[in-house]
Structure 1
């Protein structure tokens, strides 16, 4: 499945991933500094949510593209079933 992210979608996903990257760097720094466990876990949870949101945004975009291709007749019935199974597997991997 090829994913075509438009400008705004791509920017939003990249922003989420950069935010998660910064949060993970913060977690590493906090651990190295011996910071409070509760603070570390809170920051780690925020990074996890940012990654989940980026993943869901990518899956939602893929689903939208798949549905558009079906409506426009660019995807066969067999291909539709395969795509559905693949998207379902991806979705469940984040759940």
Structure 2
């Protein structure tokens, strides 16, 4: 039996981290890690290009490719978050659903500004 405190919240709810549990990206985790390692390699390559005094436009072309790769990761994570975390919270309803929608909106706003 779950204990309910004076606030009406069960002890299992109090200890639960809202960001814990299986995240939406878990089914694609290996693919994300592979992509991020590739991006990490691109960043090292960019450092090398600058250190080797490569032509500005060539460096900018690689920066653009790296930016596109990061955007692809971000869009994939956003899709996974909406499809899993937000949908799950919406099914439960209430404050958690409102919080997840706001969180997703804020993340989209940050992506649009970047």
Q: How many pairs does the alignment contain? A: 91
| Greater RCO structure (CA 8 Å; 6+ sep) | 1
TM-score (norm 2): 0.71
- 1:70 corresponds in structure 2 to 90
Give me the TM-score of the superposition, normalised by structure 1: 0.83
* Coordinate RMSD, CA, aligned: 1.6
**Runs of 4+ in structure 1 over 6 Å off:** none
For residues 25 and 110 of structure 2, the distance between their equivalents in structure 1, rounded to whole angstroms, comes to 20
1:15 Cα deviation (Å)? 1.9
Aligned equivalents of 1:78, 1:29: Cα separation in 2: 49
Larger Rg: 2
- Kindly provide the CA deviation profile for residues 61-91 of structure 1, in whole angstroms up to 9, marking residues without a partner as x: 11111214534xxx22221111001011112
Flag structure 1 segments of 5+ consecutive residues without an equivalent. Answer: none
Secondary structure, aligned partner of 2:107: helix
